[in-house]
A and B are shown apart, each in its own frame.
Chain A
Amino acid sequence: MFSKIDSIEYFLPRKRNLFSINFKKIYSKTGILNTRICNKNQDVIDLAYRACAKLKKKLINNVDTIIFVTQTPRYLLPSCSCILQEKLKLKKDIYSVDLNMGCSGYIYGLSVADSIIRSGIGKKVLLVCSDTYSKYIDKKNTNKYIFSDGASATIIKKSNKEKIFNFSFHTDGSKHKSIIIDKVNEIEKFSMKGSDVFAFTLEQVPLNIKKYLKRYKKKISFFKKIFLHQASGIILDNLKRKLNSDIIYKDIKYIGNTTSSSIPISIANAKRRGKIKKNDNLLLCGFGVGLSLGITSVKL
């Protein structure tokens, strides 16, 4: 038994006003006009619920697995997936689990979903990615020009044909402080060492994609589009140069970096805009916090 992506929906909260004296200079590098920010009384569960509510009712009713990818959970415990089960009024004989993963989280989530279906544990998975980094990024932190709050909901179903296939992963924990939420004077704050993350991305993403293609005996021309994590304009432009490929999809200008949701959001938008269609092969690659990286292939 194999698995396939059935549908993807997402929810983005209101636009954040990014105007500042340096905005033009910042925009030239980030490629981001708007980031998104949730209200004070909203959190990852609320955003996830709004994304799930966009899915067709009959699709969500008999979900037997919830995978909730987040790094900004409502509580340290219990897990967000349990809270979402109740909020969506899903059945109680259900497998629910949280994954503490960031920008590579969608690929890790897909690997768990695919394994659950292949093993026969479940038949229909709700993969939710939801984060609210804004709660840890204060007004003075320039990362507000990059990161957006947002959530996505993906339904993965069993399939007779293999439509999610060939996973590959990479982890470098020696750089775990490069993107971190840690206590500063007793307050948990987000920080990112841009040069570390940039170097990791520029070196490891092209290298791992090339290794992946070799390992699975595929040429880049096999894929209709490449969906990379929408980290920032400068990163996507550099990866396009390094991979020497014009099939990399860019969808960041009005959305920002929504961490684990960026890949499903860009796939959903590409589909709506007619850039991809049924039976197209897509290469997905998420990378970032960890530092970690995941690659997989999807047939629509």
Chain B
Amino acid sequence: MDSKHVSSATIPDHQSSTAEKVIAFLDERLGLKEIQAKMLNEPIPGGSRWAYVFGSVLLFIFIMQAVTGTLLMFYYVPTTDHAYDSTQYIIHNVDYGWFLLSYHFWGSSAMVVCLVAHMSQVFLWGAYKKPRELLWLVGLALFGIVITFGFTGYLLPWDQRAFWATLVGVEILDKTPIIGDFIARFLKGGASPGQMTLSRFFVLHVMILPSALMALAGLHLFLFRVAAPAGPFKGTKEEIKAKTDYFFPRQIWKDIVGMAFVFIGICALALWEPVVLLDKATPDPGEYHPEPEWYFLFYFQLLRLKLFAGQFGQFFGAVALPVAFMILLIALPFFDKDPERNIFKRPIALIAWIATMVVIVLFTIAAIINREFLD
């Protein structure tokens, strides 16, 4: 009673504004202040870092993809008769349609790049180790969803590039033992890509995958909050303690700058190279040499090696190698039980990461050079 009396006496004229009243009303029912405290007052061991921005940036890119994708759906018609023409209409007739489509196109590439950067950061920081195994596994599932997003979205414009990239991709999936035939038939919906394929890819792209991504991203965030940030992999206890800070405001500021930079980067790419379509999809490739989206180019070039020729070679390259790589990633936190997180004291992990990156870069460039031989 006394304290109330004192406070009302010291601030006699203070009256809550309408906004304050609304916030107080909502807080009483929803516990907003508690949520805010939990969301923003998360301590980050060793303080905020630019290396931690990739998760938030990925969430931002996904939201932007959802917004631009929804706007594109106002004009896009998912039928083999109209998909190509409606995409051309978006590019050439709809106001700023070219920019929305180009942003959406480059946004998908940015998502893959940021995803690889995020996974690399987690791997190099040793942040997949106990107690963050589940966080790593859900992250891998999200990686699969993002790649599938790119694969399904690629077909939608229904030009030669889309048609043949999808055909090559489905043929690779077809080589998977036991389930390959079913997946290929399910995706194609017939002997060759047609209306059923387009419908199924469209439904996957705009309904199933976004729902799955939202659910898993929510789970990923929840697990992140439960396990807490891992912090830096080096530095003395004194240094880490001195730099430890809350999520708000410094990390949020870094995240916002990261998001702005990625947004600007995607805009720049859209302005530099706006999306253009090739000829409408036909079962005859003509002079077009089928190839997948750029982030699959390294793998496409890898499969051109003599090592992966023949029935066994094709199975080895198209199925066994990627499956083994994924199993390795899934099992990583369970066989790497060494608590050491400093990447410079984990030589095998460092060499493996460098080797993977070198293979990706080398074979991507090789695939680009290979175009000259095909032309």
A and B bind: no
Interface residues of A (CB under 8 A from B): none
